[in-house]
Amino acid sequence: MSEARTLATVAQLTCFDEVVDVRTPMEYAEDHVPGAANRPVLSNEERAQVGTLYKQVSPFTARRVGAALAARNIAHHIETAFAERPRSWRPLVYCWRGGKRSEALVHMLREVGWQAQRLEGGYKAYRRAVREELPQLARRLHMRVVCGLTGSGKSRLLETLERLGAQVLDLERLAAHRGSVLGNLPGAPQPSQKMFESRLWHRLRGLDPQRPVFVESESARIGTLHVPDELMARLWEGECVRVETRLAARLSLLKAEYAHFLADPASLGGQLDCLVALHGHAAIDRWKDMALRGDWDLLVGELLERHYDPAYRRSILGHYPGLAHAQAVYIESPEEESFLAAARLLIALPAAAPA
The set of catalytic residues is 95
Longest dimension (CA), the chain: 72
Report the C-alpha gap between 240 and 171 in whole angstroms: 16
Report the 3 state secondary structure along 144-205.
EEEECCCCCCHHHHHHHHHHCCCEEECHHHHHCECCCCCCEECCECCCCHHHHHHHHHHHHH
CA distance to 138, 286, 291, 300, per residue, from 295 (Å): 44, 11, 6, 9
| DSSP classification of residue 306 | I
Q: Phi-psi region for residue 35, left (φ > 0), alpha (ψ -120 to 50) or beta?
A: left
CA distance to 18, 120, 151, 258, per residue, from 5 (Å): 21, 9, 45, 45
Report the C-alpha gap between 288 and 266 in whole angstroms: 8
R_g of the chain, CA atoms, integer Å? 25
